[in-house]
C-alpha cells in the first residue's frame, strides 16, 4: 500500500505534477514518519517549491536515517545554501563527495559553499582537478577565475576569465568578471574597454549600462558617464546605483544654486527689464554663461535677431539647448558649449555682438571671473559701444552682533573639551548664508567697500583700510558683505540681507575672538581684491 503510493508519487513527480506528488508524500509520512524515500522526495519537492526551510528539515531527517544517499545529502546541501547556512552546506557536501569522489557537480557545489564562507583556498582545491581534466568548461573557468580574484590573485583571475571568454564569448559572468577584475587591478582603460563591449552587446540591459557608466566615472569621462547612466535609469528606473552615480555627477557639474537662481524673481525681472531696454529689433546678442538659457530667451523675446549663448559646462549647455527648443526658440538661439574665452568672431559668431548679457557673479561678486570674462568679451566679441548687462557692481558690508552666526563656523568647547584649535580650518575663509535666518543686530551702517566698472578694463587689484563707525554698542562677531549689480542706468540687483529672497545670500567674515564695541568706536578692517578674489582681513589676531 505504502510502496504503491510512493510509486504514484514518483510517477507524478516525473510528470511534473509536483503538488500531487507532494500530497502523496505527505500521506505516506503521516502513516510512516520515517519513510526515507518519501522524506527525500518531499524534501526535494519543497526545494523546487522555493521552501528551503521545509526541505532542509525533511532532508536532514532522511540523511540521519540513510547517511549513504548521495542525492539526499546533495539536496540537503543545496537547501542549506539557499538558507545561507554555508558551514552546514560544506559539511554535507563533504559527506556527499566522500560517497562519489569523482562526481563533478559535488565538487562544484562544495567549492561554491567554501567560497561563501570565505575559504577560497579550499574552494580552489575543489575546482583545480576538474580543470586539469579538461579546461574547456567556460562556466567552470569563470568560477575558478572568480575564486582566484577573491584569493587576491588578480593576474591569474584575468587569465582565467580571458580563457573562459575564448571558449564561450557570450558568457556574461566571465565578461563582467574580467571587466571588474581589470578595474580592481588598476587597469582602467582595459576595464573600460570591456565594460564598453558588454554595454554595446546588451543595449537593453540596465546593469551593463550602469557598469559602463561607473567605469566612465572612474576614468574621469563625466560626459559619457552621464549618457550611460541615463540609459541605465531609463531601462530600470529603480536602479539605485545608477541613480546615485548620476546624482553625484550632476551635483559635481551643476551647482545646486542654479535652481534657487532660476526662482529668484527679483533678479529675473530686473534682467528682463534691462534686456528689453537694450535689445533693438534684429540685435545680435551674446549671452555668456547661459545656464538654463534664461537670459538668451529673454533677449530673443525682446526682439533680438539672433542670440549666441555660450556655456562652459557641457551638460548644462546640452540642457540649455533642450530648454530653448522646448520654448520654440531653437531657430533664434544658438547654444555653444564653450567658454566665452574660447569663442572667435567668424568661427562662432558671424560678427561682433550688439548687446552682451551675462550673470556670472557669486556671493563675493568677482568669484566667477566676471572681470576677466567681460574684459575679454568687450575686447574681442562685442562691437564698440555695445551695451553690457551688467556694466558694473559694488561690494558693501556692515558689522553685526550675532552669536548664532558666530557659532555656525567657530567652536570652543564640546562636551566639556576644548576644541577651539579646530577653528584654524575656518578662520581664513568666509562662509555663505542667508543672515536673515539668524538673529543678528547691525552694529554699523552699511559701507561701500569697492565699486567696479566692468566696461572699463583693466580692473586693478586694490587694498584699502575701511573704517566702520559703530552706531550701536554690542559684541562684534562678523562683517557681513553683499553686492549690488548694476545692470544699466535704471536696473540693479542686490544681495543685500534687507532685500528679501536673494538666492546669492551673503558672505560672513567672522572675528576669531568676538570683540566688545561701543557706540562711537571705529572698527578698521582691511579689504583687498585682485579682480578675481575678494578678501576681508577683519581680525588679524
Ligand atoms: C550664475 S550662472 C547664470 C546662468 C544664466 N545666465 C542665468 O542668469 O540664469 C553662470 C553660468 O555661467 C557659466 N560660465 C561662467 N563663466 C563662463 C564663461 N566664461 N563662458 C561660458 N560659460 C561660463 C557657468 O558654468 C554657469 O552655468
Residue pLDDT, tens place only, 258-275: 999 999 999 999 999 999
Crossing angle of helices 240-253 and 314-326, rounded to 10°: 100
CB 39 within 8 A of CB 29: yes
The pLDDT assigned to 130 comes to 87
Ligand 1 lined by 370 (C-beta under 6 Å): no
- Give yes or no for residue 104 having a pLDDT over 90: no
Closest C-alpha to ligand 1, atom 13:
289
Range with lowest mean pLDDT among 107-116, 223-232, 416-425: 107-116
Mean pLDDT of 204-223: 95
With cut-offs at 50, 70 and 90, classify the pLDDT of residue 75.
very high
Ligand 1 lined by 292 (C-beta under 6 Å): yes
Nearest partner of 457 among 379, 541, 536, judged by Cα: 379
Helices (H), 202-340: 206-218, 222-235, 240-253, 257-262, 265-278, 294-301, 314-326
The pLDDT assigned to 501 comes to 76
Mean pLDDT of 154-182: 96
Residue ranges of the chain that CATH labels 2.70.160.11: 392-537
- Give yes or no for residue 107 having a pLDDT over 80: yes
CB 308 within 8 A of CB 349: yes
CATH number of 392-537: 2.70.160.11
Ligand 1 lined by 206 (C-beta under 6 Å): no
Mean pLDDT of 371-398: 97
CB 68 within 8 A of CB 99: yes
Contacts of 382 (CB under 8 A, 6+ apart): 286, 352, 353, 354, 355, 356, 388
Residue with cell 554595454: 199
Q: What is the pLDDT of residues 445-490, one digit of tens each?
A: 999 999 999 999 999 999 999 999 999 999 999 999 999 999 999 9
Residue ranges of the chain that CATH labels 1.25.40.10: 2-194, 195-253
Q: What is the pLDDT of residues 490-510, one digit of tens each?
A: 999 999 998 877 999 999 999
Q: What is the pLDDT of residues 316-340, one digit of tens each?
A: 999 999 999 999 999 999 999 999 9
Nearest partner of 402 among 483, 497, 537, 310, judged by Cα: 497
- Classify domain 257-359 at the CATH topology level: Rossmann fold (3.40.50)
User: CA 94, CA 88: separation in Å to the nearest integer?
Assistant: 10
Q: Of all atoms in ligand 1, which is nearest to the CA of residue 313?
A: 25
Contacts of 195 (CB under 8 A, 6+ apart): 179, 208, 211, 212, 215
Closest C-alpha to ligand 1, atom 15:
289
Global pTM reads 0.82
CATH number of 195-253: 1.25.40.10
Ligand 1 lined by 375 (C-beta under 6 Å): no
With cut-offs at 50, 70 and 90, classify the pLDDT of residue 147.
very high
| Cis before 390 (ω within 30) | yes
Tell me the Ramachandran region of residue 54: left when phi exceeds 0, alpha when psi lies from -120 to 50, beta otherwise.
alpha
Span 2-194 CATH architecture: Alpha Horseshoe (1.25)
User: CA 248, CA 535: separation in Å to the nearest integer?
Assistant: 31
Average per-residue pLDDT for the chain: 95
User: CA 276, CA 301: separation in Å to the nearest integer?
Assistant: 8
Ligand 1 lined by 311 (C-beta under 6 Å): yes
The pLDDT assigned to 436 comes to 93
* Ligand 1 midpoint to CA 374 (Å): 12
CB environment 370-387: b (16+ within 10 A), e (fewer):
bbbbbbbbbeebbeeebb
* Ligand 1 midpoint to CA 136 (Å): 58
Ligand 1 lined by 360 (C-beta under 6 Å): yes
Ligand 1 lined by 357 (C-beta under 6 Å): no
Ligand 1 lined by 355 (C-beta under 6 Å): no
- Give yes or no for residue 134 having a pLDDT over 80: no
With cut-offs at 50, 70 and 90, classify the pLDDT of residue 133.
confident
Tell me the best of 250, 254, 291 to mutate to test the pocket of ligand 1, counting ligand atoms within 8 Å of each CB and taking the most: 291
Closest C-alpha to ligand 1, atom 14:
289
* Ligand 1 midpoint to CA 295 (Å): 10
Ligand 1 lined by 126 (C-beta under 6 Å): no
Ligand 1 lined by 295 (C-beta under 6 Å): yes
Ligand 1 lined by 341 (C-beta under 6 Å): yes
Ligand 1 lined by 374 (C-beta under 6 Å): no
* Ligand 1 midpoint to CA 322 (Å): 17
CB 300 within 8 A of CB 329: yes
Ligand 1 lined by 312 (C-beta under 6 Å): yes
- The CA-to-CA distance between both ends of the chain, in Å, stands at 100
The pLDDT assigned to 473 comes to 98
Tell me the best of 272, 287, 290 to mutate to test the pocket of ligand 1, counting ligand atoms within 8 Å of each CB and taking the most: 290
* Ligand 1 midpoint to CA 434 (Å): 22
Ligand 1 lined by 313 (C-beta under 6 Å): yes
Ligand 1 lined by 471 (C-beta under 6 Å): no
Nearest partner of 382 among 411, 403, 347, 356, judged by Cα: 356
Q: Of all atoms in ligand 1, which is nearest to the CA of residue 361?
A: 1
The pLDDT assigned to 487 comes to 98
Residue ranges of the chain that CATH labels 3.40.50.150: 257-359
Mean pLDDT of 429-443: 96
Q: Of all atoms in ligand 1, which is nearest to the CA of residue 257?
A: 1
The pLDDT assigned to 135 comes to 59
Amino acid at each position: 500500500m505504502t510502496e504503491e503510493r510512493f510509486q504514484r508519487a514518483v510517477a507524478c513527480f516525473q510528470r511534473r505534477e509536483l503538488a500531487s506528488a507532494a500530497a502523496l508524500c505527505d500521506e505516506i509520512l503521516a502513516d510512516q514518519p520515517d519513510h526515507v524515500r518519501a522524506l527525500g522526495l518531499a524534501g526535494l519537492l519543497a526545494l523546487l517549491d522555493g521552501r528551503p526551510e521545509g526541505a532542509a528539515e525533511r532532508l536532514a531527517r532522511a540523511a540521519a536515517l540513510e547517511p549513504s544517499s548521495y542525492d539526499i545529502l546533495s539536496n540537503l546541501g543545496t537547501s542549506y545554501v539557499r538558507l545561507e547556512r554555508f558551514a552546514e552546506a560544506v559539511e554535507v557536501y563533504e559527506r556527499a563527495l566522500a560517497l562519489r569522489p569523482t562526481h563533478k557537480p559535488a565538487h562544484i557545489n562544495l567549492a561554491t559553499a567554501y567560497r561563501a564562507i570565505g575559504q577560497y583556498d579550499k574552494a580552489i582545491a575543489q575546482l583545480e582537478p576538474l580543470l586539469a581534466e579538461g579546461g574547456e568548461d567556460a562556466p567552470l573557468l569563470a568560477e575558478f577565475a572568480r575564486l582566484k580574484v577573491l584569493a587576491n590573485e588578480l593576474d591569474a583571475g584575468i587569465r582565467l576569465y580571458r580563457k573562459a571568454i575564448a571558449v564561450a564569448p557570450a558568457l556574461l559572468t566571465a565578461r563582467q568578471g574580467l571587466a571588474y577584475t581589470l578595474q580592481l587591478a588598476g587597469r582602467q582603460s582595459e576595464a573600460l574597454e570591456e565594460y564598453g563591449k558588454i554595454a554595446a552587446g546588451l543595449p537593453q540591459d540596465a546593469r551593463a549600462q550602469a557598469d559602463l557608466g561607473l567605469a566612465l566615472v572612474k576614468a574621469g569621462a563625466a560626459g559619457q558617464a552621464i549618457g550611460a547612466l541615463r540609459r541605465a535609469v531609463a531601462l530600470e528606473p529603480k536602479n539605485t546605483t545608477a541613480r546615485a552615480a548620476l546624482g553625484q555627477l550632476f551635483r559635481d557639474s551643476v551647482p545646486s544654486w542654479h535652481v534657487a537662481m532660476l526662482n529668484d524673481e527679483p533678479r529675473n525681472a530686473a534682467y528682463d527689464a534691462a534686456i528689453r531696454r537694450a535689445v533693438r529689433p534684429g540685435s545680435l546678442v551674446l549671452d555668456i554663461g547661459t545656464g538654463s538659457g534664461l537670459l538668451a530667451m529673454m533677449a530673443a523675446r525682446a526682439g533680438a535677431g539672433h542670440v549666441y549663448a555660450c556655456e562652459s559646462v557641457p551638460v548644462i549647455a546640452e540642457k540649455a539647448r533642450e530648454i530653448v527648443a522646448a520654448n520654440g526658440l531653437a531657430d533664434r538661439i544658438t547654444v555653444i558649449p564653450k567658454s566665452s574665452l574660447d569663442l572667435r568672431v567668424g568661427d562662432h559668431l558671424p560678427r561682433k555682438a550688439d548687446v552682451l548679457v551675462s550673470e556670472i557673479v557669486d556671493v563675493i561678486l568677482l568669484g566667477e571671473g566676471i572681470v576677466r570674462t567681460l574684459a575679454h568679451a568687450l575686447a574681442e566679441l562685442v562691437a564698440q559701444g555695445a551695451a553690457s548687462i551688467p556694466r558694473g557692481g559694488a561690494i558693501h558690508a556692515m558689522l553685526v552682533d550675532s552669536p548664532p552666526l558666530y557659532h555656525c563656523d567657530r567652536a570652543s568647547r564640546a562636551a566639556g573639551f576644548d576644541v577651539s584649535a579646530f577653528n584654524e580650518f575656518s578662520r581664513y575663509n568666509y562662509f555663505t548664508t542667508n543672515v536673515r535666518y539668524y538673529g543678528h543686530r547691525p552694529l554699523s551702517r552699511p559701507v561701500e567697500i569697492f565699486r567696479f566698472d566692468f566696461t572699463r578694463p583693466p580692473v586693478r587689484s586694490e587694498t584699502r583700510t575701511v573704517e566702520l563707525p559703530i552706531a550701536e554698542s554690542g559684541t562684534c562677531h562678523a562683517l557681513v558683505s553683499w553686492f549690488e549689480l548694476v545692470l544699466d542706468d535704471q536696473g540693479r540687483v542686490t544681495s543685500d540681507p534687507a532685500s528679501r529672497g536673494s538666492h546669492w545670500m551673503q558672505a560672513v567674515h567672522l572675528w576669531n575672538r568676538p570683540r566688545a564695541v561701543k557706540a562711537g568706536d571705529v572698527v578698521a578692517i582691511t579689504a583687498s581684491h585682485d579682480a578675481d578674489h575678494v578678501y576681508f582681513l577683519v581680525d588679524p589676531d
